[in-house]
């Protein structure tokens, strides 16, 4: 979902954390479905914090929608708003926008998108990124389509409008067969809830049951828990489900392909209390720490996570190494984006607004810091300075993912390749630039082992999408290649 830049002041990320761009959630067959969607979106807030939207359908009132900037809790908990979204069928979306686009954020870019067709209205919400969106957009505009947003996801609605199929589900199939890249899509008509994953299954989508006749579609299982829904199964790569009240039909609209689920969902994007591919995300991250301790041991006094995403890996590292685990860095959970006016002085405080060092614990200690990733390295340098200022004797970084050397084009907000530290420096050079005593990343094989692949990565047929680490893109990013992006040369 390619759109506009995030809020200019986000002191914890500083453009130095990869951002999953969105989460989707839909419910059918329960009274006040929009309220359930709001709860589900709240549980998926980590997947998108800039804006959210809900569309509902009620036979008496028809389709209704609400789109708002900000957190779900600040918008979709107000009775006055939720009363405008009646019905037993609703879908919703939370999003980040990407840093690569130009312009000002507009409410028209907030999903779900809605369209009226000859056979009735339909709304869609999309998690992922369409890699041929620019070419599709040019073609559609030349044929008379009028776009209302800058989002690549809107292409799907226009492709549906041009389809000659007689019903909405078949038009969804038609549209998505033209789309390249990664997509988990949920859609709704007046009577049906639809879920689709691309043939590679890059982005997640799961199915749940609620009540006697209700079904739920969600980006993650953690959002099923918040509404008391029962997890049924994952929507399979290349599968489309069409759900009416109490009934579900499954089909396979795309050519078969070997799945390539995004491995970074295991590392960072998904909530640790979610289940991916039958595996606990928390357990996978803990196992990453175990593998790190085996691959990159170091003599030290404390293992400290960089909160919060580094915590499970730090626990695993501590358990495997025998070095005590400690909360050497504490996060201020209550510092929001509207804390105070972001003056230049406040900007310079950077991560100190959200992270603080436990000085009594750190002083005089040799500290291992475990973080999920290094993107540009700027946050790592600031955290290192904070630890040294607190009197640490040594600072060692252990990173729970391989070096991020390539941008993602499948629904993750990634800097241009030239801004990725690992694209221009070796591991030793990164260590010296960050200014730590040692720096080690988990190997790609180690990451695969932690994710349940005992033999590591199959180089001839990788089990996951790991393009951000390997440079091997399972779907050629045609729009980016057209702009001059250089793919990795075949070895």
Cα dihedral sign for 443, 404, 14, 49? negative
Question: Residue 124: which H helix or E strand, with range?
Answer: strand 120-130
Beta pairing, strands 329-331 & 302-305: unpaired
362 in Cβ contact with 390 (< 8 Å): yes
Q: Phi-psi bin for 30: left (phi > 0), alpha (psi -120 to 50), beta? A: beta
Catalytic residue among 22, 155, 222, 408: 22
Cα gap 408→38, rounded to integer Å: 29
Residue among 226, 239, 229 nearest 273 (CA)? 226
Question: Residue 284: which H helix or E strand, with range?
Answer: helix 281-295
Cα gap 129→185, rounded to integer Å: 11
Residue among 42, 46, 44, 43 nearest 17 (CA)? 46
Query: Residues for the chain: how many in total?
Result: 491
Cα gap 319→339, rounded to integer Å: 37
Cα gap 145→159, rounded to integer Å: 9
The contacts of residue 301 (CB under 8 Å, 6+ apart) are: 323, 324, 365, 366, 367
Residue among 196, 191, 193, 190 nearest 175 (CA)? 196
Tokens of 325: 């685990």
**Residue-wise DSSP of 432-459:** HHHT-SEEEE--HHHHHHHTT-TT---T
The contacts of residue 116 (CB under 8 Å, 6+ apart) are: none
Query: Which residues in 189-340 belong to E strands, given as ranges?
Result: 193-197, 206-210, 214-218, 230-234, 240-244, 247-251, 261-262, 275-276, 279-280, 302-305, 329-331
What is the phi/psi pair of residue 375, to 5°?
A: -105, -75
- How open is the CA angle 22-25-27, to the nearest 5 degrees? 170
Determine whether 465 is an active site residue: no
Tokens of 447: 């990451």
Residue among 226, 116, 231, 244 nearest 171 (CA)? 116
Write out the catalytic residue numbers.
22
């Amino acid at each position: 979902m390619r759109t506009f830049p995030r809020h200019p002041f986000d002191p914890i990320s500083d453009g130095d954390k990869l951002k999953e761009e969105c989460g989707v959630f839909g419910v059918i067959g329960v009274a006040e479905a929009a309220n359930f969607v709001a709860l589900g979106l709240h549980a998926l807030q980590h997947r998108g914090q800039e804006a959210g939207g809900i569309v509902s359908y009620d036979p008496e009132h028809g389709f209704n929608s609400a789109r708002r900037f900000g957190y779900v809790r600040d918008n979709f908990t107000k009775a006055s708003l939720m009363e405008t979204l009646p019905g037993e069928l609703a879908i919703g979306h939370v999003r980040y926008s990407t840093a690569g686009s130009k312009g000002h954020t507009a409410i028209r870019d907030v999903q779900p998108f809605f369209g009226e067709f000859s056979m009735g209205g339909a709304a869609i919400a999309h998690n992922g990124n369409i890699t041929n969106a620019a070419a599709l957009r040019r073609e559609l505009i030349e044929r008379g389509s009028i776009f209302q947003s800058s989002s690549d996801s809107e292409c799907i609605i226009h492709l549906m409008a041009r389809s000659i199929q007689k019903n909405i589900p078949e038009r969804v199939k038609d549209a998505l067969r033209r789309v390249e890249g990664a997509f988990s899509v949920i859609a709704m008509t007046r009577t049906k809830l639809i879920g689709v994953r691309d043939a590679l299954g890059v982005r997640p989508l799961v199915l749940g049951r609620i009540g006697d006749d209700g079904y739920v579609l969600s980006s993650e299982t953690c959002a099923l828990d918040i509404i008391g829904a029962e997890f049924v199964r994952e929507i399979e790569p290349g599968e489309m489900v069409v759900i009416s009240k109490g009934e579900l039909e499954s089909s396979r609209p795309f050519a078969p392909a070997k799945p390539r689920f995004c491995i970074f969902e295991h590392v960072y994007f998904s909530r640790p209390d979610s289940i991916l591919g039958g595996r606990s995300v928390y357990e996978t991250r803990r196992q990453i720490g175990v593998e790190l301790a085996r691959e990159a041991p170091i003599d030290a006094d404390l293992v400290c996570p960089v909160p919060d995403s580094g915590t499970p890996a730090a626990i695993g590292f501590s358990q495997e190494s025998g070095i005590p685990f400690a909360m050497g860095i504490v996060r201020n959970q209550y510092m929001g984006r509207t804390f105070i006016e972001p003056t230049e002085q406040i900007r310079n405080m950077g991560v100190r607004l959200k992270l603080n060092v436990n000085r009594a614990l750190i002083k005089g200690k040799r500290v291992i810091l475990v973080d999920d990733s290094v993107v540009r390295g700027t946050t790592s340098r600031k955290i290192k300075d904070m630890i040294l200022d607190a009197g640490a004797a040594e600072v060692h970084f252990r990173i729970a993912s391989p070096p991020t050397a390539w941008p993602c084009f499948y629904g993750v907000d990634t800097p241009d390749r030239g801004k990725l530290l690992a694209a221009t420096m070796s591991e030793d050079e990164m260590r010296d630039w960050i200014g730590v005593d040692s720096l080690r990343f988990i190997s790609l094989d180690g990451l695969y082992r932690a994710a349940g692949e005992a033999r590591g990565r199959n180089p001839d047929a990788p089990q996951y999408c790991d393009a951000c680490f390997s440079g091997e893109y399972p779907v050629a990013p045609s729009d980016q290649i057209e702009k001059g992006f250089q793919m990795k040369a075949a070895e």
